[in-house]
Structure 1
Amino acid sequence: MKRKICSVAVAVALPMMAGTAYANTPSAAELQERMFGSVFAEYYMPDRKKTRDVEWDYLTRGPGVGLELGYRFDENWAVRVEYARQRLKNKLTSDRVTGNRVGIDAMYHLTNSNLYLVGGYKHFDMHHSDALNVGIGYRAFLNENLAFYAEANRYQELRKSGFADAGLKAGLTYVFGSSSAPAPTPAPAPAPTQPAVVDSDGDGVPDHLDQCPNTPRGHKVDERGCTVYQEVEQRVGSAEIRVLFAFDSAEVSREQRADVARLADYLKRYPTATVEIEGHASRIGAADYNQRLSERRARAVADLLVNTHGIERSRISTVGYGFSRPRMEGATREAHRANQRIEALVTARIKEPVMR
């Protein structure tokens, strides 16, 4: 049964989607902030379980009629309330079972399309049940105010029995009032014909004045059509240098100099970069002693960069943090080894294009 319902709904929806907006269709801007009312007829198809259940009076398919009143908020969203009178049939006795359905829907109109989506809540006084519904609809205007519409919905009951009905609607909608959209301004008189100005890269500078053709889109350019650059200071890297010192010593041993050499190579790749050497210590000893020791060790690495690798002194600054910034908390041997470290923070001034 459900498969048949879905097939019917798809069969109705496909020809709807094939059409385009009629010439009489008002624009979405003309329809916003207006009320509308509808009358419709429907064909309602209960879930197959209702045809087998005495609780549902063995209900099977049947017709219905109804009214709607709604309001269009903007170009996409609208809300409506609905009343429907249904006359379904008892499958065993062929007696008609009548009842009312009331509810509220939110409607979303697809941009540049006659299609819309709908979803809402419904109450059926027939067996006192409630359901949520989702559906798709299509509306075609016959003139500025009057439109034909068709719609397919699925109704999912909220009670434990959880029926899943379907329904098809067709009706007429009347949009109250007239368009509040501003009237189109008359087209300006054609300007005198002038020679075409060619700007191939779209930077605002004509080709015959552009000294930098093919400027990237979005770049701000000068009067010559060339990209305008600005210098910005940017952190381009940070590195931990694993340098171990002898007790009460700030001398970098020969075995510990590989990381310093790699830092020097990094600085040479960025000739405008500067570096701050940070010295850190473990929690062994007094705080003021470790503060001075961390400063001496940071200066030792800076001296090695200058004297051995030829990095300008003006590009290097040093600072000691003692044990105020531990990498690992605790008084274990592993924590002491992790906190006895040198870190290098590299900053460069880089040219970046100014964007429009």
Structure 2
Amino acid sequence: MKRKICSLAVALALPMMAGTAHASAPSAAELKERAFGSVFAEYYLPARKKTTSAEWNYLDDGAGLGIELGYRIDENWAIRGELARQRLKNKLTGDRISGNRFGVDAMYHLDNSNLYLVGGVKHFDTFNSIAANVGVGYRFFVNESVALFAEANRYQGLNKRNWADAGIKAGVSYVFGASSAPAPTPAPAPAPTQPAVVDSDGDGVPDHLDQCPNTPRGHKVDERGCTVYQEVEQRVGSAEIRVLFGFDSAEVSREQRADVARLADYLKRYPTATVEIEGHASRIGAADYNQRLSERRARAVADLLVNTHGIDRSRISTVGYGFTRPRMEGTSREAHRANQRIEALVTARIKEPVMR
């Protein structure tokens, strides 16, 4: 019962100690390649069967004192030798039974922590036995050389395998010599502070000079911080006008002027746009005749845009293609209807932002 209580106390105490830091604690790099020595007091808890067996002389709990001498190999690993003097109690008579414990341990220190793991081999004069031990400990540095530590170990018999003891110890360590870690490079002197330059929209022009705040990201700007634009010619749309003409006629009937009106509305939405009126014919009759007929029909649509809808003539051009660009191949009635058409191609000069 006592062993369970002590083990639980150590298990709870170590994590709480692990949360404590000390400003003067040396780093792992500063501890490597340095020797250390320790003195400690311990409380040893034999296995329950030892307290009830004459073979083990009814050994019960007892205290002890000891010393350690070790060497930190690198930032994680260390080795140490241990010598402890134990005074255990005979549970029946109350007599004290003294003996030595000595052996060696390997220690592994966890990264960025003062926690460490330990494992080793020990010889016990008290009950003439050899045991392997594993444990966990925590070291708290008071200053760069002196540290307090607590450690709990479990001992398993090797030549007499039917026993397993426990022990807790606390002590003080001293780290010898000077650190082998290179001295830290002094921080460079801070540069003279400059007044902060604020450029809220990130266009490269400071706010106090920016006449066009909130310029879109990626736009090239002038010295005032305003977007730079360029004019480009861009085809903004095309429209097929289904205008049917009488034989040898280029007059647009009243019923078929709705498409022309829609084209006029389209041009009015783009005041800088220009339009090319293309006349097309079906494959009936001679090529020269159809060429002239397609030209007259294109001009008829252009005149309607100008005279009826007020579109400036400078924005309109016409061209006739005869039957050289058929929409549908063949000489069927469907082909003639598909090919006898007017197409309008609208082009506008628009401003686009220049991107960086």
- What TM-score do the two structures reach when normalised by structure 2? 0.53
Q: Which whole-Å CA distance do the structure 2 matches of 1:104 and 1:173 have between them?
A: 17
Please state whether the residue corresponding to 1:113 is helix, strand or coil: coil
Does 1:57 pair with 2:57?
yes
Instruction: List runs of 5+ in structure 1 lacking aligned partners.
Output: 198-207, 210-356
1:82 aligns with 2:75: no
Partner of 2:162: 162
- Superposed displacement of residue 126, structure 1: 1.6
RMSD of the TM alignment (CA)? 2.7
SS of 1:61's partner is strand
Q: Given residue 8 of structure 1, which amino acid in structure 2 is its aligned partner?
A: A
Superposition pairs for residues 289-304 of structure 1, below 5 Å? Answer: none
Percentage of pairs with the same residue: 66
Q: 1:188/1:132 Cα in 2 relative to 1: closer, same or farther (>3 Å)? A: same
Residues 196 and 94 (structure 1), Cα distance of their counterparts in 2 relative to 1, 3 Å cut: farther
Corresponding residue number in structure 1 for 2:105: 105
Q: Would you say the 8 A contact 1:20–1:113 is kept in 2?
A: no
| Deviation string, structure 1 residues 181-224 (Cα, Å, up to 9, x no partner) | 22222211234668799xxxxxxxxxx99xxxxxxxxxxxxxxx
Aligned to 1:70: 70
Change in 2 beyond 3 A, CA 1:196/1:31: farther
| 1:324-339 correspondence runs (5 A) | none
2:7 aligned partner: 6
CA shift for structure 1 position 102: 0.4
Question: For residue 146 of structure 2, what is the aligned residue in structure 1?
Answer: 146
Helix, strand or coil at the partner of 1:36: strand
Match of 2:114 in 1: 114
Query: For the Cα contact (< 8 Å) 2:17–2:138, is it kept in 1?
Result: yes
CA contact (8 A) 2:75 2:109 kept: yes
Work out the CA distance in 1 between the residues paired with 2:122 and 2:44.
14
Where do 5+ consecutive residues of structure 2 fail to align? 200-216, 219-356
Moved over 3 A (4+): 1-6, 191-197
* 1:35 counterpart residue number: 35
Amino acid at match of 2:9: V
Choose 73-82 or 5-14, whichever is displaced more.
5-14
Cα gap change, 1:8 to 1:189, in 2 (>3 Å): closer
Change (3 A) 1:161 1:77: closer
Q: 1:153 to 1:123 in 2, by over 3 A?
A: same
Change (3 A) 1:156 1:48: same
Partner in structure 2 of residue 296 of structure 1: none
Deviation at 1:14, TM superposition (A): 3.6
Deviations 1:290-332 (A, max 9, x none): xxxxxxxxxxxxxxxxxxxxxxxxxxxxxxxxxxxxxxxxxxx
Distance of aligned partners of 1:54 and 1:161 in 2 relative to their CA distance in 1, 3 Å threshold: farther
| 2:17 partner letter | M
Q: Which has the larger radius of gyration?
A: 2
Q: SS state of the match for residue 111, structure 1?
A: coil
